[in-house]
Amino acid sequence: MSDKTWSNVCTEANTCGLTGAAAFFAGIPDAVIVTNGPLWCYFYALRYLEKPCTELGSRFYCTQAENHAVVYGTEESLLKTLEQIRQNCQPSVILIENSCAIGLIGDDIEGIARQAAMPCPVVCIDSGGLKGGFWEGYRAAAKSYFTAMPLKPRRMALPWTINLIGCTVGYYNSENDLRELKRLLSLAGYQVLACPGAGSSTAEIACMAQAELNIVVHEELGLELAQFLQQVYGTPYVSLLPPYGMEGTVTWLKRIGEIMWLEEGRMQPVWQEVQELEQKIRVATLDAQRVWGDLWFESTLVAAPASVALAVAQAVRSEWADTGPVTVLSHSGSCACQPPAGIDQVLDGGCLGAGISKQLELLPGGLLLASSNEKALLQKAGITDVIFQPIALPVYDEINLSDRPLLGLRGACHMLEQLWNQYIHLCQRWR
């Protein structure tokens, strides 16, 4: 998806497994991460994650393994780093993740960690790019965490409680989106016990088994974990496309309500907000249509992690705009779930390679919802009459300081606002 050149900025849609593993533990505020490898690997992951986790630098360490460590091992540097952690912080759990080169030499990092006798559990994994990309690293770290940190036994499920599974600080606009999901669920009368890997502490995660239901938000991240938790603790789960758009959000909430036998009256505050926002959207869009016509695109390309891309494409087709063919490009590889109706083709972004340029050639007069990588390729090809909205990392041509989600009811308004405003601007350029 980008030029294969060395840089101090991550420009890959699919980063390495080391970054994915670090992302899961970065989302646990009382966890410490140790990259057992060179500084380049450490800074690569840190640069990717420090924007959503501004305090991450204080709990992300590196052994700074040099060339001789590949021959003689990393015991000395790893023990030194663990001693620094002992003196400077009091973590509830430590992740030690090997980079590619260190993973090849076969160091017994679990034995070294036992030798250090740290005062908290230590999770050790090989997570270099040779083990896969971001999503493989995240899934491996999540499974290793729950294996090393058993939950409190599931005695009796607390009524109206849920966990959100498969969320991460490593997705675009994740903090705002997760806040909107929690707001909606709270409005409907649910209590979110934990979001492992996305802000919940080890103490909050330890009580997860008491929830009535686990909701998989991003299947490429959380499905395997939800299946593991059901097998070990008996917590049922449901995997749904994340709620983009008004219709997508209503469907998402209704499906959860059906599974949990939620009384219709408890949803009244949600339906009240839906009605108010739909009226607001109706008035604004009718006014814009009178001047600028329908929101129409010749074609649409949506490129993002599979769950995000499919859900956004569904919202585009069903409510946000009129459009020609809709193509989905999955950054996270092939998608096992059935594409929603109205999506013309789903492509594996991990295998497409240079073929992305052919897809972009079909976009004049179209809509691109993707990362800055696809936008850069579009500009390189000299295609200018395309509306672009970022929905996936990397994004390196904007800053985002406000609370403006893309998910949920507030996210639906924000996305429609963005599309219309850019469309109006494009129409003004044409006149």
Summarised one tens digit per residue, pLDDT across range 329-364 is 999 987 666 788 889 999 988 666 666 878 888 899
Query: Token pair of 38, please?
Result: 């060179």
Determine the pLDDT at residue 362.
86
Q: Measured between alpha carbons, how far is 147 from 151 in angstroms, rounded to an integer? A: 9
Is the model's pLDDT at 6 over the cut of 60?
no
Nearest one of 241, 370, 252, 250 to 311, comparing CA atoms: 241
The residue assigned the tokens 């390196």 is: 396
Beta strand segments in 43-118, E: 60-62, 93-98
Is the model's pLDDT at 4 over the cut of 50?
no
Exposed, middle or buried by CB within 10 Å (0-12, 13-18, 19+), for 378?
A: buried
Determine the pLDDT at residue 1.
42
The residue assigned the tokens 């974990």 is: 225
CATH code at 15-148: 3.40.50.1980
The count of residues in the chain is 431
Q: What percent of the chain is modeled with pLDDT above 90?
A: 77
Query: Token pair of 73, please?
Result: 């091992």
Determine the pLDDT at residue 339.
82
The residue assigned the tokens 């646990």 is: 28
Q: Measured between alpha carbons, how far is 206 from 16 in angstroms, rounded to an integer? A: 28
Q: What percent of the chain is modeled with pLDDT above 70?
A: 93
pLDDT digits over 370-394, tens only? Answer: 999 999 999 988 998 999 999 999 9
pLDDT digits over 248-266, tens only? Answer: 999 999 999 999 987 778 8
The SS3 assignment for 185 reads helix
Q: Measured between alpha carbons, how far is 237 from 125 in angstroms, rounded to an integer? A: 27
Q: Mean pLDDT of all residues in the chain? A: 91
What is the mean pLDDT of the segment spanning 50-71? Answer: 87
CATH code at 161-268: 3.40.50.1980
Is the model's pLDDT at 9 over the cut of 50?
no
**What are the two backbone dihedrals, phi and then psi, of residue 297, each rounded to the nearest 5 degrees?**
-130, 140
Is the model's pLDDT at 11 over the cut of 70?
no
Q: Does domain 269-430 have CATH number 3.30.450.40?
A: no
Determine the pLDDT at residue 431.
62
Work out whether strand 237-239 and strand 213-216 pair parallel, antiparallel, or are unpaired. parallel
Nearest one of 187, 217, 155 to 27, comparing CA atoms: 217
Determine the pLDDT at residue 65.
83
Nearest one of 122, 167, 201 to 307, comparing CA atoms: 167
The Cα-based distances of 419 to 320, 379, 400, 413 in angstroms read 8, 19, 17, 10
Beta strand segments in 267-415, E: 296-297, 300-304, 322-323, 326-330, 345-348, 367-370, 387-390
Nearest one of 206, 198, 189 to 92, comparing CA atoms: 206
Query: Token pair of 310, please?
Result: 């499919």
Total-model pTM: 0.94
Least confident of 130-134, 166-170, 189-193, 269-273: 130-134
Task: Provide CATH 3.40.50.1980 ranges for the chain.
Answer: 15-148, 161-268, 269-430
